[in-house]
Amino acid sequence: MDFGVSDEMLGTFVPIVVYWVYSGIYVVLGLFAESYRLHSQQEEDEKNLVSKGAVVKGVLLQQLVQAVVATLLFALTGSDSQNTTSQNTSLLVLARQFVTAMLVMDAWQYFMHRYMHHNKFLYKHIHSLHHRLIVPYSFGALYNHPVEGLLNDTVGGALSFLLSGMSPRASIFFFSFATIKTVDDHCGLLLPGNLFHIFFKNNSAYHDVHHQLYGNKYNFSQPFFIMWDKILGTYMPYTLEERAGGGFETKPCKVYKDD
């Protein structure tokens, strides 16, 4: 059914809607799933260095920039409407494009993320904004400095789209999937049966380690795989232990505690 909305428009704005819908779902789940939280609600309220109102404003600004860049990108690359049908009939082509886009996004974000930690100027003035969320939560997933949002997320997404060769219609599903995965990585919950935790070692617990002081220079990989951390020696193994007040907490393996 054609509603008169282009694939390019849907590819731009559907992931934004998905972000807030899934963030809201995780917020509600967190209210009733204290026994599955990585941090208590009290820790979330007391440890974070930025208000939730400021986080919402920051995310909306980043999404505005992403929407502008996506609109320009689709305008420059042109419409693939003539090829959309043929591409959608080939599951093999779609699978190849998705995997390629995932690998491109992972590589770009790993090296950009790691550089922003090791460059003192960039960390102090740009990336440290995201780390004001010591206790991550779902709708803070895209809370970044606008420059980081542009360089890391927006450019990384554009490269994934261009190098994978996917159509605007395929991009609707890919970027929606990547958005849900990113929100899940920051949700602060270890829910039973979570498919992301079954299929990906890069999950909410893995990323929670990175947000803690002891893991600040480890576990840079996002949002899909952990191979770059493994290959380049920035992987920090951790254990999950039950928290006294309910829920879980991540703790580094002993060999890493003094790093």
User: What tens digit of pLDDT does each residue of 150-168 get?
Assistant: 999 999 999 999 999 999 9
Query: Which range has the worst mean pLDDT, 132-146, 150-164, 180-194, 238-252?
Result: 238-252
The predicted structure's pLDDT at residue 79: 55
The full DSSP string for 59-81 is HHHHHHHHHHHHHHHHHHH---H
Whether residue 254 is predicted with pLDDT greater than 80 in this model: the reply is no
- Of residues 254 and 45, more confidently modeled: 45
Whether residue 118 is predicted with pLDDT greater than 70 in this model: the reply is yes
Q: What is the mean pLDDT of residues 50-78?
A: 91
Question: What are the structure tokens assigned to 156, written together?
Answer: 């990384």
The predicted structure's pLDDT at residue 73: 85
The predicted structure's pLDDT at residue 86: 44
Q: What is the mean pLDDT of residues 9-27?
A: 95
Question: What are the structure tokens assigned to 181, written together?
Answer: 């995965």
Q: Can you tell me the distance from the alpha carbon of 130 to that of 153, in angstroms, rounded to the nearest whole number?
A: 13
- Of residues 56 and 258, more confidently modeled: 56
Whether residue 257 is predicted with pLDDT greater than 70 in this model: the reply is no
Question: What are the structure tokens assigned to 232, written together?
Answer: 């380049």
| Burial class, 139, CB count within 10 angstroms (exposed 0-12 / middle 13-18 / buried 19+) | buried
Residue type, 258: D
* Average pLDDT of every residue of the chain: 90
Q: What is the mean pLDDT of residues 85-103?
A: 82
Q: Can you tell me the distance from the alpha carbon of 243 to that of 205, in angstroms, rounded to the nearest whole number?
A: 14
Share of the chain above pLDDT 70, in %: 92
Stated as kind and residue range, the H or E segment containing 241 is strand 238-242
Render pLDDT for 198-251 as a digit per residue (tens, 0 to 9). Answer: 999 999 999 999 999 889 999 999 999 999 999 999 999 999 999 888 899 999
The predicted structure's pLDDT at residue 99: 97
Q: Can you tell me the distance from the alpha carbon of 92 to that of 104, in angstroms, rounded to the nearest whole number?
A: 18
Share of the chain above pLDDT 90, in %: 79
- Residue 116: name the closest of 256, 222, 258, 251 by CA: 222
The neighbouring-strand residues paired with 250 are 240
DSSP at 145: -
The predicted structure's pLDDT at residue 84: 47
Question: What are the structure tokens assigned to 184, written together?
Answer: 């899940």
- Of residues 79 and 242, more confidently modeled: 242
CB count, 10 Å around CB of 217?
Answer: 13
- Residue 62: name the closest of 129, 125, 112, 135 by CA: 129
Whether residue 76 is predicted with pLDDT greater than 60 in this model: the reply is yes
pLDDT class of 256 with cuts at 50, 70, 90: low
